[in-house]
Amino acid sequence: MSATKIITGNETAALAAKLCKVQVIAAYPITPQSKIPETLSAYVESGELDAEFVRVESEHSAMGVCISASLVGARVFTATSANGLAYMNEQLHWAAGARVPIVMAVANRGLGAPWTILNDMQDTLSQRDTGWIQLYCKNNQEILDKVIMAFKLSERVLVPTMVCFDGFRLSHTVMPVEVPDQKEVDEFLPPFEPVYEIDPDNPININPVVMTDPLPGPDGELCPSYMGFRRRLQKTLENVLPVYREVGTEFAEKFGRDYSDPLYRYRADDAEILFVAQGSVASEATAATDILRDKGIKIGVLGLNIFRPFPAEDLSNATKNARVLAVFEKGISYGYEGVLCSELKAALFSHNGHRPQVLNFIVGLGGKDLNPGDLVGAIEDVLAKMKEGHEMKTPQWLGSGV
């Protein structure tokens, strides 16, 4: 039977990993995720979790341990933030290329310099091209649920997954979380079965140097070239969304919470204006939508449950009746615009002929407070300027001061 606990996002992530019966944990403390490995270490020390906790000297080493442990068949978990994630960059590419189903919780935090310990999404957005699946969470319940889902998804497709949530805004905030019974989780997530066995009597070569053209292996069969391996990873990621939907449906049948839709939708069906966001920004947009609806404005929310692979067709279909898309995001691709905004434009260009006005708002960098009133004010200002015929330049920065 499930139980409700009032816990922080960090405690939720650690509890989810414990419920998944992870076997190896390697992590290096960095604010605001430090409580995740601390909690897991306590679980291991007390005997509540039968796992190996590997203490390492850096995030780069942590990911190296995770890759090695996963290659030999262990269920592996880690966590990080910000510059720690950036320090892992080389190993992130290696993990995806090695096709290891690692799950990593990322408490999103702004990157230095200058230093900030507070939240934005620049850290994970800057790693979008490493080959990892990226899931985003609006609240602590989603952290627990998506960590559990992430293991099932990763182990089915053999691609690692980041479960991303706002530092401090979720990592340190207590919320009620419905925690499922261990038996239910065991039924949903059986033990990991690796695709090959490490056997000294039958040695295999893992991730050797490959050439530009396929070469025959010991059995005479052609082995992929480097480009062939890259293509296989791309093809797998192109097919992740159907598997994500399957895992989401299975999760809903077992636990009653449904994430099978790659998008979170709120009052979106008849909306002429849509907030597009991910993480806690989507939660703030939900409250702002109710305020604006009371003022007679037909507005709704589309939030992304999954950012990589990008749900381009879903977003394109969900926005085909809107005339304005207001993309609010905690990150930017310097020299152009927000990453989510660019991805959305590409989706619209590729999947239908509808061309709504797409406006980009950069918000909340370095923990700058963002509340529903800020979103309401931004939309009302946009509508007033559009009515007067003003050209809307984007990206716009909300609350940046000097």
| Strand arrangement, sheet containing 76-80 | 52-55, 24-27, 76-80, 103-108, 161-166, 133-136, 306-308
What HEC string does 19-73 produce?
Answer: HCCCCEEEECCCCCCCHHHHHHHHHHHHCCCCCEEEECCCHHHHHHHHHHHHHCC
Q: What is the pLDDT of residue 402?
A: 65
Residues forming a β-bridge with 325:
274, 358
The answer to whether 64 and 91 have CB atoms below 8 angstroms apart is yes
pLDDT above 90 (res 262): yes
Amino acid, res. 326: A
- Return residue ranges of the chain for CATH 3.40.50.970: 3-193+243-252
Q: What is the pLDDT of residue 108?
A: 98
**Model confidence pLDDT, tens digit, residues 142-194:** 999 999 999 999 999 999 999 999 999 999 999 999 999 999 999 999 999 99
More confident residue, 402 or 363: 363
pLDDT above 80 (res 95): yes
Q: What is the pLDDT of residue 49?
A: 98
- Return residue ranges of the chain for CATH 3.40.50.920: 264-397
What's the mean pLDDT in 264-270?
A: 97
pLDDT above 80 (res 375): yes
Q: What is the pLDDT of residue 205?
A: 79
Q: What is the pLDDT of residue 147?
A: 98
The answer to whether 380 and 345 have CB atoms below 8 angstroms apart is no
What's the mean pLDDT in 226-250?
A: 97
Using only the alpha carbons of the chain, give its radius of gyration: 22
CA distance 31 to 35: 8
The answer to whether 44 and 25 have CB atoms below 8 angstroms apart is yes
Overall residue count recorded for the chain in this entry: 402
Query: Does CATH place domain 264-397 in 3.40.50.920?
Result: yes
The separation between CA 152 and the C-alpha centre of its own chain, rounded to angstroms, equals: 15
Name the percent of the chain lying above pLDDT 90. Answer: 87
**Model confidence pLDDT, tens digit, residues 123-132:** 999 999 999 9
DSSP letters along 149-164, please? HHHHHHHHHT--EEEE
What's the mean pLDDT in 318-335?
A: 96
What's the mean pLDDT in 241-260?
A: 98
Q: Which stretch of DSSP H or E encloses residue 177?
A: strand 175-179
Could you identify the residue written with the tokens 């079965």?
A: 193
Q: What is the pLDDT of residue 216?
A: 85
CA distance 107 to 167: 5
What does pLDDT average to over the chain? 95
Pick the CATH number of 3-193+243-252 from 3.60.20.10, 3.40.50.970, 3.30.450.20, 3.40.50.300: 3.40.50.970
First to last CA, the chain: 53
pLDDT above 90 (res 209): no
Q: What is the pLDDT of residue 195?
A: 85
pLDDT above 80 (res 355): yes
pTM: 0.96
What's the mean pLDDT in 383-396?
A: 90
What's the mean pLDDT in 71-75?
A: 95
CA distance 309 to 134: 7
CA distance 166 to 81: 10
How many helices and strands in the chain, by DSSP H and E? Answer: 14, 17
CA distance 69 to 72: 5
pLDDT above 70 (res 366): yes
**Model confidence pLDDT, tens digit, residues 26-63:** 999 999 999 999 999 999 999 999 999 999 999 999 99
Q: Where are the beta strands (DSSP E) in 211-334?
A: 215-216, 222-223, 263-266, 273-278, 299-304, 306-308, 324-329
CA distance 325 to 322: 7
